[in-house]
Amino acid sequence: MGEPDVSFFGCDGEDDKTSADYCFDSYSHFGIHEEMLKDVVRTKTYQNVIYRNKFLFQNKVVLDVGAGTGILSLFCAKAGAAHVYAVECSHMADMAKQIVETNGLPDVVTVLKGKIEEIELPVAKVDIIISEWMGYFLLFENMLNTVLYARDKWLTMDISKMVPGDASFTASFKLIAERDDYIHAFVAYFDVSFTKCHKLMGFSTGPRSRATHWKQTVLYLEDVLTICEGETIIGSMTVAPNKKNPRDVDIMVKYSLSGRRCVVSRVQFYKMR
């Protein structure tokens, strides 16, 4: 696959922020955006979804939530959007404006610096909201609530199918051993599907798929489990935003194994900070 058909450039960044500044404004740093842009699975999937479904974007007003460098906004503009409003709260918004200028699209893409919850758009409604809101483990440091806020405030169509509370859930699992071995950890990952395209498109962040910058989340076990081929681990995973900081994630895993060599039933707690 070729590289995205947009122009980017670098500069001598002034990387003199303190660690506290980095925590609160980490997306002002070029490194994290470079990692995401070079994630071919991520970037090319979004590009293919937009370019191969241009009929969805032509003559539409688009809102890009958490635009970063503006890559998705440029894709939408090149797909025929009437106008794109790219909202980015970090200092990367200044670079996004330059990138838009370099690509000759300042009349189509407007970069707005600020938080979605605090800015005002020049329009009352938008036809499409696009965002790459997903974090590690899908929900760590994600922007889901911000996207839902933008949907409720600006999206023309009423598709309020999801609410912020849906980010808290419990899911059961069943794992069947493919061989005799030892288990030291569970591995969590997520799949992404774009379901409204002519052809179903998406990607997986799983260990058997092409690597992405999301990688996988490893949940180490307190005990090493000895398992034999064909034996089954059953359990459940409960996920919820941390009460003090909703961008953090609390995880509870219940699991049990009744095997020939190992019998265990345990509950473990994890925190993503």
Catalytic residues: 132, 141
What is the spatial distance between Cα 259 and Cα 234, in angstroms, rounded to a whole number?
Answer: 12
Q: Please give the structure tokens belonging to residue 259.
A: 């095997």
Bridge pairing between strands 83-88 and 61-65: parallel
Rounded to 5 degrees, φ, ψ at 221 are: -95, 150
The conformation of residue 135, written as its DSSP 8-state character, comes to B
Q: Please give the structure tokens belonging to residue 53.
A: 């479904």
Element spanning 62, H or E: strand 61-65
Residue count of the chain, please give it.
Answer: 273
The label of the residue with tokens 């909202």 reads 87
What is the spatial distance between Cα 135 and Cα 52, in angstroms, rounded to a whole number?
Answer: 25
What is the spatial distance between Cα 140 and Cα 142, in angstroms, rounded to a whole number?
Answer: 5
